[in-house]
C-alpha cells in the first residue's frame, strides 16, 4: 500500500512486469495498517440474510455497510 486509500497491483504481460496504482474509494475499510481485513463469508451471508428478514434493520446499517464491506463478489 502506498498512500492512504491507494494500493498497487502488479501484473505480468509477456516479459515485463507492470504496476498499476489503484485508488480505493473505501480507504481504511479494506486495509488496516497495511493488511487486508479478515473475511468471513458465512458471517457476511448471515448479515445479508438478517437484513432480508427484518425490514427495520436495513435503514440502520445503510450508512455503515457498503459493497466494499463484503469480500465475495
Nearest to 29 by CA among 52, 4, 54, 8: 4
Digitized pLDDT (tens) for each residue of the chain, 73 residues in all: 444 445 555 555 566 655 555 454 555 555 566 666 667 888 888 888 988 999 888 888 888 888 777 776 5
Single pTM value for the model: 0.40
Domain positions in the chain: 1-34, 38-73
Q: Would you mind telling me the total number of residues written for the chain in this entry?
A: 73
d(CA 10, CA 17): 7
Residue 73: what pLDDT? 52
Q: Give the three-class secondary structure for 24.
A: coil
Q: 48 near 54, Cβ under 8 Å?
A: no
Amino acid at each position: 500500500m502506498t498512500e492512504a486509500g491507494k494500493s498497487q497491483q502488479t501484473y505480468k504481460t509477456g516479459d515485463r512486469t507492470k504496476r498499476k496504482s489503484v485508488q480505493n474509494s473505501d480507504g481504511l475499510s479494506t486495509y488496516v495498517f497495511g493488511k487486508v481485513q479478515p473475511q468471513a463469508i458465512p458471517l457476511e451471508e448471515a448479515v445479508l440474510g438478517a437484513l432480508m428478514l427484518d425490514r427495520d434493520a436495513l435503514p440502520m446499517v445503510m450508512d455503515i455497510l457498503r459493497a466494499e464491506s463484503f469480500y465475495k463478489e
